[in-house]
Amino acid sequence: MKDRAAFDLLYRQTSAKLFGVCLRVLKDRGEAEEALQEVFVKIWTKADRFAVSELSPISWLVAIARNHAIDRIRARREPATYIDAALEVADPAPGPEAAVVAGGESERIYRCLDELEKDRAAAVRGAYLQGESYAELAVRHGVPLNTMRTWLRRSLLKLRECLER
């Protein structure tokens, strides 16, 4: 019974954020609901893993939700159809995200993203927030897959260098 009260509290405090993650990545309400359920089962049964992670609790929970949702879209999409899906997805504009940014750590990462070329920063954001694959990003940005891979790898290294500066 004690466990259940703890779970209720965890759910109350985090489900809206984690549902936001699932919705954004999966873009389908029914599937996001299913994913959210699976995410909480995972969290509940793997809570011991948190002890070895250095992440803050909410970052750890978001990471589980993001990774689960991304695994789901990868499993869902056949190579042929995810290209179509990529074409349908609008370019994630920096506008709405910048508006949500409260400051501090978020401000810093956006400052570092600003140091990247514009389309590369957009690709990084699209990948992180929506779980877009190299293949999808390549189609949307009109570049070969390997070019996209090189872009993003270099961007990740630059980001790290900027964040550690």
Partner 1 sequence: MTLAQDDGPEPGGDDLFAAEYVLGVLDADEREIASRRIDADATFARLVDAWEARLSPMAAAYPETEPPIRVKEALDRRLFVAEPRSGLWSSLAFWRGLAAASVAALAITIAVPYLNPPVEPPRLVASLTADGSDVRYLAVYDAAHRKIGLSHVSGERAAGKDFELWMIEGKNAPVSMGIIPAGQIAHMTIAPAVQEKLAQGAVLAVSLEPAGGSPTGQPTGPVVAAGDLKSI
Q: Contacts with partner 1 in 80-109 (CB under 8 A)?
A: 96-97, 100-102, 104-106, 108-109
Is the Cα dihedral 24, 29, 31, 37 positive or negative?
A: positive
Position 37 contacts partner 1 (CB under 8 A): yes
Position 42 contacts partner 1 (CB under 8 A): no
**Nearest approach, Cβ of 88 to partner 1 (angstroms)?**
18
Give the number of residues written for the chain.
165
Q: What's the CA gap between 145 and 103, in Å, rounded?
A: 34
Q: At what angle do helices 118-130 and 134-141 cross, to 10 degrees?
A: 140
Q: What's the CA gap between 16 and 30, in Å, rounded?
A: 15
Residue 54 burial (CB count, 10 A): 6
**Nearest approach, Cβ of 63 to partner 1 (angstroms)?**
5
**Nearest approach, Cβ of 115 to partner 1 (angstroms)?**
15
> Among 90, 165, 150, which Cα is nearest to 125's?
90
Q: Which of 15, 31, 83, 85 binds partner 1 (CB under 8 A)?
A: 15
Q: Which of 7, 27, 83, 89 binds partner 1 (CB under 8 A)?
A: 7
Position 140 contacts partner 1 (CB under 8 A): no
Tokens, residue 127: 């990948």
Secondary structure E strands in the chain: none
**Nearest approach, Cβ of 114 to partner 1 (angstroms)?**
13
**Nearest approach, Cβ of 158 to partner 1 (angstroms)?**
11
Given the structure tokens 């927030």, which residue do they identify? Answer: 129
Position 16 contacts partner 1 (CB under 8 A): yes
Position 74 contacts partner 1 (CB under 8 A): yes
Position 124 contacts partner 1 (CB under 8 A): yes
